[in-house]
Each structure stands twice: as C-alpha cells, then as structure tokens.
C-alpha cells in the first residue's frame, strides 16, 4: 500500500516505537501533569515538529543515496534491520526506573512547545533511527510520493498516540510510569517486538 513494502510491519513498528517511553513522551507527560492539557498539546506539537525535521533530513539523504548508489542503499537496509534488533536487545537489558514529576507553576503551552522541540532536536539518535528505519520499507526505486506517505504515516500515528496520551491516558500513564513492574513489562515486550521485527525484515530483504 502506498508502495510501502511490508506495510503491516511498517504500521506495527511505528505503534511499538510510540509505546516505548522516551524523552519526548516524558516531556509530554510532564507538561500535562504540571500545566494541563493545553501545555501537553503544546509539547506534542514540539515533539512532532522536531521529529519532522529529522525525518525530512533523513529522507533527503536517503533519496540521494537511492538514486546514486542502489547497492549501498541495500546495505543500509541490512544495517536498519540490525539496528532495530540492537534496540530490542538494549530494551531487554536496560533497567527501568520510575519518573518523578515535581510540582511547578503552571506555564503556557508555547513554552512547553519550545521545550519539547529542543528535547527532540538535541536527541540525534532520532535521525539515526529514521535513517535506519525507513529503508526497511522502501524499494530502491521508490517515488518521492512514497517517501511523503511514510512521513505522513509516522506523523499521523504519532499525533494520535501522543494527543491521546494527553487527552485520555495521562492519569493512567503517570501511574504506570511510577510502577516499575508495569514499565518493566512494557519495555521488555517492546524489546522482544523490535528484535522480532529486525529478524523478520532482515529475512525479507535477502
């Protein structure tokens, strides 16, 4: 669909990545807990914009690589599969700690937008992730429209999850974030899923 190969795995992988607590997720939860829904949605906007900047940068480089060096692009696909598996292994090994949310004066959504945007841009692993992630679901001769469709999918699913986290699940998410057992289980399940994705996509790219 949309000329994206392994489309079902592409959607499932995006969902799994959203479920992994990261700096962006914590920024959104902290903003909502401290200053309400408006602040949380501001943080969502900042996180999405930061991710979009890295996605566009990653895809600009990938598009040039696909046109000039198809064989190197195929090698990048193998790297991407290995990188996903490596992330999965790290999630299985890392300790899971609780998140502390301290009381603070209520601040504007614009302030949290800027903070979340800065958090996103100061995490270069995001760009490395997208460079490794997108080639797994692209043909070497993919059209620019396919690249745009992939960006739109990631942005839309991220928006739905993150906005839902603010509007519906914030209280539950905060409680779960303070329960090491629940967070540990979620993190381990995500690790297993990513490891399986890496192996599956490596086999598909043979």
Determine contact, residues 14/153, Cβ cutoff 8 Å. yes
Q: What is the pLDDT of residues 88-108, one digit of tens each?
A: 787 788 665 554 444 445 566
Listed as ranges, residues in the chain with pLDDT below 70 are: 1, 21, 62-63, 65-67, 69-74, 76-77, 80, 84, 94-108, 122-125, 127, 140, 169-183, 186-187, 190, 197, 201, 204-206
What DSSP element (H or E) covers 135? none
What DSSP element (H or E) covers 124? none
Handedness of CA 170, 31, 150, 136 (dihedral sign): negative
Q: Cα–Cα distance between 192 and 13 in angstroms, integer?
A: 12
- Residue 175 neighbours by CB distance under 10 Å: 10
Q: What is the pLDDT of residues 53-73, one digit of tens each?
A: 888 887 787 667 656 766 666
Determine contact, residues 44/176, Cβ cutoff 8 Å. no
């Amino acid at each position: 669909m949309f000329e994206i190969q392994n489309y079902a795995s592409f959607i499932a992988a995006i969902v799994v990545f959203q479920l992994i607590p990261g700096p962006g997720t914590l920024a959104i939860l902290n903003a909502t807990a401290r200053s309400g829904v408006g602040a949380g949605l501001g943080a969502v906007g900042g996180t999405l914009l930061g991710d979009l900047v890295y996605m566009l940068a990653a895809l600009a480089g990938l598009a040039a690589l696909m046109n000039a060096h198809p064989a190197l692009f195929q090698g990048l696909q193998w790297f991407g599969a290995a990188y996903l598996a490596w992330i999965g292994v790290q999630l299985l090994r890392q300790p899971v700690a609780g998140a502390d949310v301290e009381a603070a004066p209520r601040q504007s959504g614009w302030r949290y937008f800027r903070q979340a945007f800065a958090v996103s841009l100061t995490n270069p692993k995001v760009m490395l992730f997208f460079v490794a992630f997108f080639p797994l679901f692209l043909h070497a001769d993919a059209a620019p429209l396919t690249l745009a469709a992939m960006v739109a999918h990631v942005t839309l699913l991220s928006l739905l999850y993150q906005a839902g986290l603010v509007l519906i699940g914030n209280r539950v998410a905060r409680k779960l974030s303070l329960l090491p057992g629940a967070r540990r289980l979620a993190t381990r399940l995500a690790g297993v899923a990513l490891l399986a994705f890496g192996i599956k996509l490596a086999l598909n790219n043979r």
